[in-house]
Structure 1
Amino acid sequence: MIGSALSNRVEVYGRSVQALVNAMEFLKLKAKRVLATHGIETLEAEQWYPMQNVLGSFEDILKQVGPHTTRAIGHALPKHAAFPPHIDSFESALLSLDQAYRMNHRGPGNIGSYRVIPGVNRTSTVMCDNPYPCEFDQGIMEALYDRFPPKNSLRLRIDHDPGCRAKGAHACTYHLKW
């Protein structure tokens, strides 16, 4: 289950929402229909949209198409969303996750966050207390790894703690190793 917007006045940048449509490649028409049912009839990259409408769209996509598509949307996000320009490594990309999240959301109130705790030996812990689905967050982390591949690393492993927003927890915690 996808959470609710933490404030009904928070908005999401259109470029971020565009990732939803682009990630669904062969299902773009379906994505546009889902967005339209949630009040986003014409998607403009430079506009802002109510977060609850975006979350409702994610909920429908998760139910109708499945978690793999939700993960693909997260994977597409860094290509489309606003992101800090100074990123040059996977580690710096992870550390900028919360800043990028705030660049793509606006409005008063709590919008949630990404908190990254660097570990040792190519590990980090990422805590997500935003209302987006787990698969979406994991897709974002995979995309950052693919975009800034660490030297001498063959793959990214993401382990999800048992506590989960979809099961009522306040946040999801992921342990990353690469």
Structure 2
Amino acid sequence: MRSLDAYADYQVIGQNLRHLILGLGSFWLLANRFMLEENLGTAGPDGLVQFDPEAWYPLVANLRVIARVQRDFGEVAVRQSASHIPTIARFPSTVVDIHSAFDALDVAYHMNHGLNGRALYCPETGVMREGIGHFRSRSIPGQKQILSQCTSPYSCSFDEGLLLALAQRYEPSASITHLEPLRCRAHGSESCTYSILWT
């Protein structure tokens, strides 16, 4: 996995930062503190973090906050936080079911991340700029299964939470398995692959 320095110029759209507050329940005040310490937003009059949902914020700061959540509260907290992404992130209007959701995931990922204040994917031109990895998904013919390969800078537990929530939004019975977890980004590999199944 690349070092955080490789993502120093990249950004995330402000509305996506809500996952850190929505997903942590009673721990949200600590997440609030983490965000302020990493300069993700500013403190309001009540001391709570405020951010502009349409503004761009440093991706590295977001990754650091997620890493702190994982260290202090564990992988379950990170998965729970990431599970809110499908409901708050920007997705193409073509998404109507689990297959179209996973087909559009990489585009959505790039729509919600930016460089120099511009999204990495432009719907008007169809141009996608590189630099933050990808979510490559494919449906298994004749089966209720999707394989998703991730090369994002986010942690395995974050991606698991996002992928499972996206799947369950359209197929409530969906489950996820991290394939070959000992040969993944957490252990120096370039990618992680997840199997999503439903009945």
Q: Please point out which of 99, 122, 138 is paired with 2:144.
A: 122
- CA shift for structure 1 position 110: 0.5
Contact 2:178-2:192 within 8 A present in 1 as well = no
For residues 67 and 79 of structure 1, the distance between their equivalents in structure 2, rounded to whole angstroms, comes to 20
Compared CA separation, residues 118 and 3, structure 1 to 2 (3 A): farther
- CA shift for structure 1 position 5: 5.8
1:126-164 superposed Cα distances (whole Å, 9 cap, x missing partner): 1100010111111111111221127xxx33232322321
Partner of 1:12: 12
Partner of 1:132: 154
For residues 86 and 122 of structure 1, the distance between their equivalents in structure 2, rounded to whole angstroms, comes to 20
TM-score (ref. length: structure 2): 0.81
1:141-156 equivalence runs, <5 A? 141-149=163-171, 154-156=173-175
For residues 168 and 130 of structure 2, the distance between their equivalents in structure 1, rounded to whole angstroms, comes to 33
**Identical aligned pairs, as a percentage?**
29
TM-score (ref. length: structure 1): 0.90
Partner of 1:73: 81
For residues 64 and 151 of structure 2, the distance between their equivalents in structure 1, rounded to whole angstroms, comes to 17
Which is greater in Rg?
A: 2
Q: Please point out which of 160, 164, 167 is paired with 2:187.
A: 167
- CA shift for structure 1 position 3: 5.5
More strand by share: 2
For residues 41 and 84 of structure 1, the distance between their equivalents in structure 2, rounded to whole angstroms, comes to 26
For residues 17 and 138 of structure 1, the distance between their equivalents in structure 2, rounded to whole angstroms, comes to 18
How many residues are aligned here? 175
User: What root-mean-square deviation, in Å, do the aligned CA atoms of Structure 1 and Structure 2 show?
Assistant: 1.9
